[in-house]
Amino acid sequence: MKSALDAVHHAGIPGVFAEVRDAGRVWRGASGVADVGTGRPVTPDMRQRVGSITKTFTAAAIMQQVEQGRIRLDAPIGDHLPQLVPGERGRKITVRMLLNHTSGLPDYIRYAFPSLQDMSPKSLDDNRFRRFRPAELIGMGVNAPPASEPGATPGVYSNTNYLLLGQLLEQVTGTTAEEYITRNVIERAGLRHTGFPTGPRIEGPHARMYESLWGLIDPPRDYSVYDPSWTGTGAALVSTMEDLNRFYGRLLDGKIVNRSSLAQMQRTVPVIALDGSTIEYGLGLHKVVVRDCGTFWGHDGTVWGAGTISLTRADGRRQMSVAVNLQRWNGPDSSGEPRHHPVDDALNALYGQAMCGDADAGVGPGEGAGEASTG
């Protein structure tokens, strides 16, 4: 495993760290640096902005409210939040469609960061300390041209869906979504280093997080200090690799939601991910099938400068969580498309070894290995 981590670092990632669990045995490792300026090394216990892995936590919280009868999966979101999704769309889009990305609501990120549409990083810096309101971001998605019809498949992955779910949680629980998730998901799972940041800085040991934006930022810029309000209940959590493995282990063991809820979460539909690949997506869970190795459940996520993936085999006996502190390392080819990079192969080999003990069994394109954009 250590040599596979080293290969990712040597391929171009400043720092990579991981925890792998196999039938009760635990391996932790790291390679590279947390800070390219000082050479400070990464360590396996560092905290990380885990991006869209947050979505599984939010989905679990929603399912708890389904169990208590406060939310119906097939209820129109307009019954709860007519001011955010008004009119016919509010009547057609259900809670389930938000959870599995079949609502047809587009992602708001290109509108929150408009310079991305011109292939410029300017709005990343302009918004570094901006405090977004969820309703403001949701409005960007709701008012944009629809990605598809409500309920159509394949679905289209969208952070707008999970900000709406956060607002739904707030309405039915009478507390903030972050507070509810902390008390009823994070604490129930026994996680000690996981939480929603209250400001732009991460508390505790962590790496700097470098964003390349497909070669537009050269050298890559550190975005570890960043107001996370642009991601909220979709992608704002900070965690550790140990906590992520513990969370997914307990979730799949029926300790966070009941077995009936878990079965609903594992009913998948095809969804077009942010990188254009098609993934199998349930209610806040990716399904990843690796030939000759098994079916895995989990999620991946990216925010500016930080990428994370956490997958647990269906029987719970094999788990991996991996973090890197560089994102969008693929520079453009002559047609402007992100070109293949040695990091892609090195990460694929690392995933294969972590999940299967076999470097040839890596997660391939379209199997949920990683998102090429944010969320």
Q: Which residues are catalytic?
A: 52
Q: Tell me the two tokens of residue 208.
A: 């700097």
Using CB atoms within 10 A of its CB, is residue 360 exposed (0-12), middle (13-18) or buried (19+)? exposed
Query: How far apart are the C-alpha atoms of 209 and 197, rounded to whole Å?
Result: 16
